[in-house]
Amino acid sequence: MVALTQGTWVIVADGEKALVMENITDADDPNLVVVAVEEQDGPTGKPTDRAGRRNDGGPKQKSVIEEPTWKAHAKSLFVQDLANLLNRKGLKGAYDRLVLVASPHVLGLLRRRLHSEVLGKVVAEVNKTLTNHPLHKVEQVVRHSLQPKARLA
């Protein structure tokens, strides 16, 4: 069982917003306090309004060029910024234990970008998107997710 001991940081993130929280009480009755809120700057706008076209070798032959995935790129940049923050704070000793709460995609992006020493501080991952939930609901879901599951005989 993973316990939310005092001082454990809980990161609740999606591709646009991240809540950095710290448990200020013991593991029996965790009390998460928001330390920081990181939000993606508003998108600068769509690069184009439609997919591009290019001429192929033959007469009257054209191909469609897929529109750039600017939303995915913005999400990736935001996760990189979050990873940089966690790396900076973790390497300076701001926390010893870390719980990551995010969608599978964001968890994967974060894992790839976190320093190995910071990855060693990750004690649990919760596969849920909770950024827009009230704090008491986040506490409840995280606490429930970290409890050991009963095994059937």
**Alpha-carbon distance 23 to 92, whole Å?**
19
- pLDDT of 11-67, one tens digit each? 999 989 999 999 999 888 889 999 999 998 765 555 555 555 556 666 666 666 665
SS3 at position 31: coil
**Alpha-carbon distance 148 to 27, whole Å?**
14
- Domain residue ranges of the chain, discontinuous segments joined by +: 9-42+66-146
Look up the CATH architecture of domain 9-42+66-146.
Answer: 2-Layer Sandwich (3.30)
- pLDDT of 116-153, one tens digit each? 999 999 999 999 999 999 999 999 998 888 877 655 65
**Alpha-carbon distance 27 to 2, whole Å?**
9
Residue 3 pLDDT class (50, 70, 90 cuts): confident
For 45-54, 65-74, 77-86, which range has the lowest pLDDT when averaged over its residues? 45-54
pTM for the whole structure: 0.80
Q: What is the mean pLDDT of residues 58-78?
A: 73
